[in-house]
């Protein structure tokens, strides 16, 4: 029995051991199999031999990087000596659906601009976005702090797929970068995505169109289709398709020597905070944006001879430009040759036709190597001149001028409205080709000016006396502003009978001066600081001459820097302008509907005529609370900011009472109104009047007028303005006259605004748009504003209480009763 038990036990142990061994073997085998399986998976992601990745099927293109297409995948072969190099990446729309983004988004529109560099991290290559906002000399210790406090975001990370055969370059797969929705380069902003309810990129309808490598740049075209609930066009498709172009260009190893900005000469700028400066702060350094022009023959240049630049600025015309307009665009581009000659360069800027596909099959307007004038088939009425620049130095790399087709209509209309009284050839809907071409030429030249680095100079038209605009010899020689970069489009001052008048703007002396200041080559200067004495000397030589004054686009407060204004006296210029508009209104039907047997042009032009009138009014409004800004340095005599004198402001208020607030009956032409609309005539007038009434009664303007009490002198005050305005707006009450519908609307608009001033606390922040002066902010509740408003409302209420009892006109009495009741609700709330 014991023996049997022993044998049974031994047998059980044997079976258990066998099972255990079997289990152990199986586990080991499984582990080995899993390891081998993992190894195979790991091998799949491991760095491979070059010819395993770039196979014999690869289609390759050499350039900045070698670019390879293997079946459907794209690979970059990045030389190690190109890692950590600064490159400018520009995303631009190549083709666009109708209506996407509104009137100013089009084929050719830049959607993003950023500096990038490629960086290796272990077995990955990172595409990093680099900023030059904060900088420091790399030899200084503080540069380490700048680096760690400005950590660069990673745009994309790539696995290293292989090294090239001599191990001088790394291979990465960029297919996903360009075929997925990477928002930084997608072309669809968050606003556009929200507006059109974009859901996602549809991978089945999106693909890489082409990848091309050139010696200094790589160009990628992508076709993207997004699912969108509310696309801008073809809504039944619930899709948005667009083509993007990605340009990446190698920036110079040694940046162009920058030129320090001086606010007395207008230039677009780039800024950096230099933490390595000796100043006891992060020293902000601002440089002008300009193209790099260097003379081919420096010795001849030094002798004062005109010399061609090593690399001229070349603009290509869009192949889609209408044939009859091409010559005017070319002229507009090359009009800048003369200012560049002032700077010592000949043939510095050149216009060319785009090469045909046979001449250059690689040419593309989106290619960052080429600057173009894009002609956009769009109903937008405008033109723009953007550019792309190196943030390290301000060097302009490339630009695309955008001309929108319907802008021709704008110029035809304004030519008729603003010059038709004195200019017989403008009194037609069929403007002569040469004249419309001349207008287009000047617009193109203006936009090219922006692309050369020049902002608007709104003081340039203030350089000339108003009466000079009626002098034929003067206008033919000087045009209508000292700079083409002003918004001074037409001579609206010249009167019927004035002879030999130039009505269209042209290049002026300031343009030559600013071009020389920004582009004159100074070979002896080895740093931006070395140039400063010479540049300052050139400015001070012109000080005091209004033709060389730069005025920022700050028409909010400066009477001499106003959009669309001409002449050095807004009251006098607007008098002439309105006199001409009265002539135009009388003749508008005979110039339009009588000729076409159609009222559509009459309606369009009448609406724009109201806008022209409105601009003339606005120029005078700026005088109220106006402050002249004349930028100076401490070594120059005079003050930078000077309030307009009291007499001029009083005259301006009187002008506004007579030309705006007393109903301009001449604008209410019943022959026109009753042929273009069934009703709404009184509201059209109210909107125009209340716009400038509200502008006068803005916290910003009131604050400036209050501020003059802190200065020594007899200035126009906020109390003066409030009293003059009330007395002028309510003359009927003082004279016991009936109030017509237009004046009733105006008076109610005044009361609405006064109640707003009484109950609102004013703006909370100052505007920060670059180059513009923002709204003046101050504590409204502790200022004089509410006391002034209360005083005016109490005076007005007393006056209207007396007037309503003495007036026999029923609607006037109802009007006054309503006004009194509304004021009482505010002044004596229950």
Question: What sign results for the dihedral spanned by CA atoms 365, 366, 371, 376?
Answer: positive
* CA–CA distance, 196 with 228 (Å, rounded to integer): 6
Residue 315's Cβ-count burial label (10 Å; 0-12, 13-18, 19+) is buried
Q: Which residues neighbour 681 within 8 Å (Cβ) at sequence distance 6 or greater? A: 668, 673
Question: According to the model, what pLDDT value does residue 763 have?
Answer: 79
pLDDT level of residue 15 (50, 70, 90 thresholds): very low
Distances (CA, A) of 553 to 110, 266, 457, 556, 565: 24, 10, 7, 9, 12
Residue 659's Cβ-count burial label (10 Å; 0-12, 13-18, 19+) is middle
pLDDT at 8 over 60: no
pLDDT at 825 over 60: yes
pLDDT, one tens digit per residue, over 18-60 is 444 444 334 343 344 444 444 444 556 689 999 999 999 999 9
Contact between residue 757 and residue 789 where contact means Cβ atoms under 8 Å apart = yes
Residues 571-591: what's their mean pLDDT? 97
Question: According to the model, what pLDDT value does residue 765 have?
Answer: 65
pLDDT at 113 over 80: yes
**Where is average pLDDT lowest: 114-128, 505-519, 770-784?**
770-784
Q: Which one has a higher pLDDT value, 679 or 732?
A: 732
Residues 775-779: what's their mean pLDDT? 84
**Residue (of 98, 76, 109, 77) closest to 245 by Cα position:** 109
* CA–CA distance, 7 with 13 (Å, rounded to integer): 10
* CA–CA distance, 787 with 762 (Å, rounded to integer): 15
Which of 274-278, 321-325, 400-404, 467-471 holds the top average pLDDT? 467-471
* CA–CA distance, 465 with 470 (Å, rounded to integer): 10
Question: According to the model, what pLDDT value does residue 44 have?
Answer: 62
What separation, in Å, do the N-terminal and C-terminal C-alpha atoms of the chain show? 115
pLDDT level of residue 776 (50, 70, 90 thresholds): confident
DSSP string, 436-464: HHHHHHHHHHHHHHHHTT----TTGGGGS
* CA–CA distance, 282 with 288 (Å, rounded to integer): 19
pLDDT at 276 over 90: no
pLDDT at 225 over 80: yes
Contact between residue 64 and residue 77 where contact means Cβ atoms under 8 Å apart = no
pLDDT level of residue 1 (50, 70, 90 thresholds): very low
Beta strands at 349-353 and 313-317: parallel, antiparallel or unpaired: parallel
Helices (H), 353-432: 407-419
Question: According to the model, what pLDDT value does residue 103 have?
Answer: 74
């Amino acid at each position: 029995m014991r023996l049997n038990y022993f044998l049974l036990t031994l047998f059980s142990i044997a079976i258990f051991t066998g099972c255990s061994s079997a289990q152990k073997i199986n586990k080991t085998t499984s582990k080995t199999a899993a390891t081998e399986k993992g190894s195979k998976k790991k091998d799949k992601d491991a760095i491979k031999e070059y010819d395993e990745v770039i196979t014999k099927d690869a289609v390759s293109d050499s350039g900045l990087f070698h670019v390879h297409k293997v079946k459907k995948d794209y690979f970059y072969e990045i030389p190690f000596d190109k890692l950590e190099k600064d490159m400018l990446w520009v995303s631009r729309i190549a083709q666009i659906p109708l209506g996407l983004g509104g009137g100013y988004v089009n084929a050719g529109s830049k959607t993003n601009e950023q500096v990038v560099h490629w960086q290796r991290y272990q077995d990955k290559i990172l595409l990093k976005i680099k900023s030059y906002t904060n900088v420091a000399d790399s030899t200084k210790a503080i540069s380490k702090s700048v680096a760690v406090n400005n950590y660069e975001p990673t745009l994309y990370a790539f696995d290293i797929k292989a090294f090239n055969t001599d191990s001088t370059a790394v291979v990465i797969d960029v297919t996903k970068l360009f075929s997925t929705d990477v928002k930084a380069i997608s072309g669809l902003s968050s606003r556009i995505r929200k507006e059109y309810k974009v859901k996602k990129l549809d991978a089945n309808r999106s693909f890489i169109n082409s990848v091309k490598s050139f010696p200094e740049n790589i160009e990628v075209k992508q076709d993207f289709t997004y699912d969108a609930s509310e696309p801008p066009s073809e809504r039944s498709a619930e899709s948005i398709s667009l083509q993007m172009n990605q340009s990446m260009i190698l920036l110079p190893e040694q940046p162009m020597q920058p030129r320090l900005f001086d606010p007395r000469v207008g230039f677009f700028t780039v800024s950096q905070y230099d933490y390595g400066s000796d100043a006891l702060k992060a020293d902000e350094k601002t440089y002008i944006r300009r193209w790099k022009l260097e003379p081919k023959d420096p010795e001849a240049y030094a002798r004062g001879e005109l010399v061609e630049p090593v690399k001229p600025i070349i603009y290509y015309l869009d192949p889609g430009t209408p044939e009859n307009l091409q010559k005017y665009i070319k002229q507009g581009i090359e009009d800048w040759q003369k200012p560049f000659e002032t700077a010592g360069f000949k043939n510095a800027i050149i216009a060319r036709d785009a090469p045909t596909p046979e001449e250059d099959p690689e040419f593309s307007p989106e290619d960052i190597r080429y600057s173009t004038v894009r002609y956009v088939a769009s109903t937008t009425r405008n033109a723009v001149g953007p550019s792309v620049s190196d943030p390290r130095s301000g060097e302009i790399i490339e630009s695309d001028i955008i001309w929108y087709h319907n802008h021709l209509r704008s110029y035809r209309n304004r030519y008729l409205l603003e010059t038709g009284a004195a200019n017989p050839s403008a009194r037609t809907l069929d403007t002569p080709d040469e004249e419309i071409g001349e207008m287009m030429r000047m617009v193109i030249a203006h936009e090219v000016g922006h692309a050369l680095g020049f902002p608007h100079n709104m003081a340039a038209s203030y350089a000339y006396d108003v009466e000079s605009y009626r002098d034929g010899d003067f206008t033919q020689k000087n045009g209508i502003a000292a700079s083409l970069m002003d918004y001074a489009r037409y001579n609206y001052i010249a009167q019927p009978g004035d002879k030999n008048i130039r009505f269209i703007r042209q290049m002026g002396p300031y343009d030559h001066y600013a071009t020389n200041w920004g582009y004159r080559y100074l070979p002896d200067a080895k740093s931006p600081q070395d140039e400063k004495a010479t540049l300052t000397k050139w400015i001070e030589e012109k000080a005091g001459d209004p033709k060389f004054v730069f005025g920022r686009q700050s028409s909010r407060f400066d009477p001499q820097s106003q959009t669309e204004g001409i002449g050095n006296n807004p009251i006098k210029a607007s008098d002439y302008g309105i006199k001409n508009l009265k002539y135009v209104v009388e003749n508008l039907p005979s110039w339009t509907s009588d000729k076409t047997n159609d009222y559509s042009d009459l309606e369009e032009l009448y609406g724009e005529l109201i806008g022209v009138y409105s601009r003339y009014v606005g120029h005078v409004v700026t005088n109220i609370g106006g402050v002249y800004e004349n930028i100076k340095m401490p070594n120059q005599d005079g003050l930078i900011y000077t309030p307009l004198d009291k007499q001029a402001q009083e005259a301006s208020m009187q002008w506004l009472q007579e030309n705006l607030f007393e109903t301009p009956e001449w604008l209410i032409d019943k022959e026109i109104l009753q042929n273009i609309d069934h009703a709404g005539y009184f509201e059209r007038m109210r909107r125009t009047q209340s716009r400038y009434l509200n502008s006068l009664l803005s916290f910003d303007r009131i604050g400036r007028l209050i501020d003059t009490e802190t200065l020594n002198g007899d200035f126009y005050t906020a109390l003066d303005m409030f009293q003059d305005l009330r007395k002028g707006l309510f003359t009927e009450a003082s004279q016991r006259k009936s109030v017509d519908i237009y004046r009733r609307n105006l008076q109610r608009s005044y009361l609405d605004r006064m109640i707003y001033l009484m109950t609102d606390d004013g703006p909370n922040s100052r505007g920060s748009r670059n180059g513009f002066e923002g709204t003046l902010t101050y504590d409204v509740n502790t200022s004089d504003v509410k006391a002034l408003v209360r005083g005016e409302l109490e005076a007005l209420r007393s006056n209207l209480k007396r007037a309503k009892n003495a007036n026999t006109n029923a609607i006037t009495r109802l009007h006054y009763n309503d006004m009194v009741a509304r004021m009482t609700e505010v002044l004596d709330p229950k």
